[in-house]
């Protein structure tokens, strides 16, 4: 497949025509063009897009010649909602934020906090909600359930505040929905000339209006949480109360501020917002696709249930919710299933790069410094040249050695967590969260798809399902 290049508008019209299936359309094009293709934008629009899913190019851009491929000025314009947070900045600003985040996320107390919070949210939010759905024999959108679960747990970890959006009554929460609205608008900024979406932003119409409203709702929520936490810390300081048990990230950031920096400084807002985006959406998207893969591959689901049940039954009645990190790691087949879901449906399906200087890639393509580059991770997981003829199959054993151990693939090939210096800091946390949720659900419930629904990726910068995942859940008998 070679997209038609139209006069004046180039091949951008083909992308716009396929915007509702943009990830699969790009995959089809890359599959037929050796993993690399240059989409020509409208004349004088500076919208040429160099797309590649070639692992050698990814390795070169993300690692070998990392300094020549920053996020770039255009990226920060498109993702202006993220401000000066870690995902949006380069050079020293990025290095400083990454060092701080790496120190906080890798601290033993925080890692234990992650496990504890996720098990508690499973016990107090997820299980009661699914029990209610099971008793009523009603349908539920599992994607929304996962979004609320990860939103609640991420808010506790990042902001020290539990918004309790996952409850039996499932309340409408505008600031939680705002994250999804923002992500949809951001993808369209990749497909529209800058002057078009900037005009919409100025007029506050279309998706730019939704993005404006979403940003306002998110900012107000973060401000509310920071205010609550700051008041709490000031009260504790006055009475000399010990703060050692406060492991949420906002507490660490506030206590680390110098005297001249206010807790309401925009830089703190930007750092917290970036962490919220990373925690809430990536894990919920990955969980949604994982349970769809379980439902459409019942034999694989059976093997994973057997592995989970074998371990959890050893814990004894009432102890299923206290698995530690090592016990989670011991479930090799579940680990393989999570990796397969992330390979086929990476939560961040593409990454924007902008070369500082013109370059020649390992594939032989010359890249002008004015050309925007996009690494297509979703497409990479669907290339026979990368993963073999069974690349579209869900095969957890792909990740297990003959000795029954976990098999590791290079990050530039398995790109769900990025690669090189910008590799994801939350990789281990993602596996812990996904395994906790999966183990709890698959041990207690049988999840069945509602017939007749259309399953496809959404037109968003995060790989959600376009129409959600409608399921019915029933309680399993004692195993």
The secondary structure element, H or E, covering residue 416 is: none
- The answer to whether the beta carbons of residues 101 and 275 sit under 8 Å apart is yes
- The answer to whether the beta carbons of residues 126 and 151 sit under 8 Å apart is no
Give the three-class secondary structure for 23.
helix
Rounded to whole angstroms, how far apart are CA atoms 364 and 319?
56
Cβ atoms within 10 Å of 135's Cβ, excluding its own: 10
Reading across the β-sheet that carries 470-475, which strands appear in turn?
140-141, 470-475, 445-449
Cβ atoms within 10 Å of 19's Cβ, excluding its own: 14
Query: How many residues does the structure list for the chain?
Result: 479
Of 31, 28, 36, give the one whose Cα is nearest residue 52: 36
Q: What does the DSSP assignment read for 105-129?
A: HH-HHHHHHHHHHHHHHIIIIIHHH
Buried b / exposed e over 325-364, threshold 16 CB at 10 Å, is eeebbebbbbbbbbbbbbbbbbbbbbbbbbbeeebebeee
Q: 424 a known binding residue? A: yes
Rounded to whole angstroms, how far apart are CA atoms 49 and 46?
9
Feature table: binding site for heme: 424
Feature table: binding site: 424
């Amino acid at each position: 497949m070679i997209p038609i290049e139209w006069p004046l508008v180039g091949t951008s019209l083909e992308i716009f025509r396929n915007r509702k299936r943009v990830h699969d359309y790009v995959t089809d094009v890359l599959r037929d063009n050796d993993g690399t293709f240059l989409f020509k934008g409208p004349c004088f629009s500076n919208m040429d897009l160099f797309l590649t899913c070639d692992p050698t190019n990814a390795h070169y851009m993300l690692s070998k010649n990392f300094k020549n491929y920053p996020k770039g000025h255009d990226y920060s314009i498109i993702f202006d909602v993220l401000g000066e947070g870690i995902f949006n900045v380069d050079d020293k600003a990025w290095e400083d934020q990454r060092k701080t985040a790496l120190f906080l996320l890798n601290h033993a107390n925080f890692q234990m906090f992650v496990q504890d919070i996720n098990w508690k949210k499973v016990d107090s939010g997820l299980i009661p909600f699914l029990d209610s759905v099971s008793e009523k024999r009603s349908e539920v959108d599992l994607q929304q359930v996962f979004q609320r679960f990860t939103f609640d747990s991420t808010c506790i970890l990042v902001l020290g505040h539990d918004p309790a959006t996952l409850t039996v009554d499932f309340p409408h929460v505008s600031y939680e929905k705002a994250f999804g609205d923002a992500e949809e608008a951001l993808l369209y900024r990749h497909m529209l000339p800058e002057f078009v979406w900037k005009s919409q932003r100025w007029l506050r119409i279309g998706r730019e209006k939704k993005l404006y409203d979403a940003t306002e709702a998110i900012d107000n929520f973060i401000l509310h949480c920071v205010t609550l936490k700051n008041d709490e810390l000031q009260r504790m300081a006055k009475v000399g109360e010990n703060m050692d048990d406060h492991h949420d990230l906002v507490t660490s950031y506030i206590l680390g501020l110098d005297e001249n920096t206010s807790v309401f400084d925009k830089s703190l807002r930007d750092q917290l917002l970036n962490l919220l985006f990373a925690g809430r959406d990536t894990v919920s998207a990955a969980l949604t696709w994982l349970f769809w893969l379980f439902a459409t591959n019942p034999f694989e689901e059976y093997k994973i249930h057997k592995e989970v049940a074998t371990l959890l039954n050893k814990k004894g009645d009432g102890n299923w919710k206290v698995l530690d990190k090592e016990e989670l790691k011991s479930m090799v087949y579940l680990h393989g299933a999570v990796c397969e879901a992330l390979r086929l449906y990476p939560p961040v399906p593409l990454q924007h790069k902008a070369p500082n200087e013109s370059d020649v890639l390992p594939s032989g393509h010359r890249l002008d410094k004015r050309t925007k580059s996009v690494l297509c991770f979703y497409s990479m997981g669907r290339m026979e040249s990368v993963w073999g003829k069974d690349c579209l199959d869900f095969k957890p054993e792909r990740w297990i050695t003959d000795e029954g151990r976990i098999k590791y693939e290079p990050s530039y090939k398995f790109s769900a967590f990025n690669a090189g210096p910008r590799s994801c800091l939350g990789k281990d946390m993602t596996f812990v969260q996904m395994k906790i949720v999966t183990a709890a659900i698959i041990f207690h419930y049988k999840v069945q798809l509602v017939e007749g629904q259309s399953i496809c990726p959404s037109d968003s910068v995060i790989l959600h399902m376009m129409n959600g995942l409608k399921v019915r859940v029933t309680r399993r008998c004692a195993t």
